[in-house]
Structure 1
Amino acid sequence: MTHIALTAQSISLRLIDLSDLAAIHVLHSFPETDKYNTLGIPKDLEETKHIITSWVAAHSATPITTYTFAIERATDQEFVGLIGLKLWPQKHRRGEIWYKIHPDHWRKGYATQSVNLVLDFGFETLKLHRIQAGCAVANTGSIKVLEKVGMTREGRGRKVLPLKTGWSDNFEYSILDTDARGE
């Protein structure tokens, strides 16, 4: 498996492995983290294992087209959440990010630092031209993070997210390698 470690002020990112199963299962089991996520709450640990097995396997592919990182607090390596980067075919030089933070770690800057690390990795290491993200229009926390890092809201997809509360519109964000970056 490929070894990638990205570090910022108070967090570090590393590719997930199966030893993260329990922490990821807990993260996926919170109604708060599921509210704007289409994955759903897994019924048991085996369902979570089935989900993350493909994420872990993707890190051994050549070339890697999907990166899934564990976010850990730098001081004690406590699991904070997940952030992923999915790549389009190479000629497009484009990727899409997603993230999910444990509720105990909301509003501490971890999501912003994580997104910035993945943007740096995408633009500087992978030489991407464009990185995009989407979020439910009611997800004010993610909206703040995406705008804080310098992403531009490009539009609104109508009724594209099948959430537990019903179909939700999705804001589409992006940032280019030539754009000014935020915080």
Structure 2
Amino acid sequence: MNKTAIETKRIRLRLIDIADLTSIHTLHSLPETDKYNALGIPNSIEETKANIEPWIKENQLQELKNYTFAIDNKSNGKFMGLFGLKIGHQKYNRAEVWYKIHSDYWRKGFATEALKAILDFGFDTLKLHRIEAGCAVENIGSIKVLEKSGMVREGRLRQILPLKSGWSDNFQYSILETDKRIKQL
């Protein structure tokens, strides 16, 4: 099994496993974290398990193409959220990131810290050329995280996200290996 882990001053990103099921189910069940997410609130823990089992299986491959990390608070070991890095076709040398943070940890810089760490991992370790992200146009929190991490807004995709509130436009962001990155403190 791949033992990829990334640490910063306050957090540890580690590949998820089945022991994270209850924490992930709780995260996915929060209405506030579901607001801008197309996955939806699971009907049961079994549904959450069915959703994460492919992620766990991917994390066990020799050559990872889809990393799904748990974000743990280093000071107390508590689960704070999820972070994904999906590697695209090798020819294009790019990846897409996504994240979902428990609302108890919003507005404290944890998502930005995690994204900066993932960007460093993607460019310095995986030698990627481009990393992309998207977020609903009304998701001000994610917009701030992406922009504080040095990502550049490239455009707007119209009515691409099927949210509970209806179809939402999505801002598209990216950062290149040659762009200036904002480093961790």
The two structures share one fold, judged by TM-score above 0.5:
yes
The CA deviation at 1:76 is: 1.1
TM-score by length of 2: 0.97
**Match status 1:112 vs 2:112:** yes
User: 1:165: how far off?
Assistant: 0.3
> AA paired with 1:34?
D
Alpha-carbon contact 2:2-2:61 (below 8 Å) kept? no
1:78 and 2:78 matched: yes
Distance between the aligned counterparts of 2:28 and 2:84, measured in 1?
Answer: 14
- TM-score of the two chains, using structure 1 as the length reference: 0.98
**Residue 141 of structure 1 aligns with which residue?**
141
**CA apart distance, 1:91:** 1.6
Offset at residue 14 of structure 1 (A): 0.3
CA distance in 1, matches of 2:157, 2:182: 24
Q: Distance in 1 between matches of 2:68 and 2:59?
A: 8
Q: What residue number does 1:50 align with?
A: 50
Shift of 1:58: 0.4
Work out the percentage of aligned pairs sharing the same amino acid. 60
C-alpha displacement of 1:28:
0.1
Alignment match, 2:14: 14
**Residue 3 of structure 1 corresponds to which residue in structure 2?**
3
CA distance in 2, matches of 1:167, 1:123: 33
Task: In structure 1, list runs of 5 or more residues that go unmatched.
Answer: none
CA distance in 2: counterparts of 1:117 and 1:47, whole angstroms: 30
5+ residue gaps, structure 2: none
The residue type paired with residue 17 of structure 2 is: D
Cα deviation for residue 115 of structure 1 reads: 0.4
Deviation (angstroms), 1:125: 0.8
